[in-house]
Amino acid sequence: MAAPPVMAAAPVNAEPKDDEMDLFGDDDDEDAVAAAKAAAEAAKNKKKKEKPPEMSLIIFEVKPLDDTTNLDELAKKIFAMK
């Protein structure tokens, strides 16, 4: 009795088929690491940011009583206010 012919096993590290090939070179491991790094940096920057105090804009409308009022002195007094 003769032994049946033995089929050759496919190599373990065979090239992927064309339909399985990743055309865009996506690597999920690198994306996950980059996303974790970005999240950590965003959390770090969020702690650093402080809101500046809110300010209001006040407008004074100044009208001299008569034409003899010195407007330069009046302007100095107004700008000296804080």
Mean pLDDT of 39-44: 84
Boundaries of every domain in the chain? 57-82
Say which residue the tokens 């650093």 belong to: 48
* CA–CA dist 82, 80 (Å, integer): 6
Q: What is the pLDDT of residue 10?
A: 54
Could you give the count of Cα atoms lying within 13 Å of 42 in the half-sphere of its Cβ? 6
Distance CA 33, CA 82 (A): 52
- Is pLDDT at 80 greater than 80 in this prediction? yes
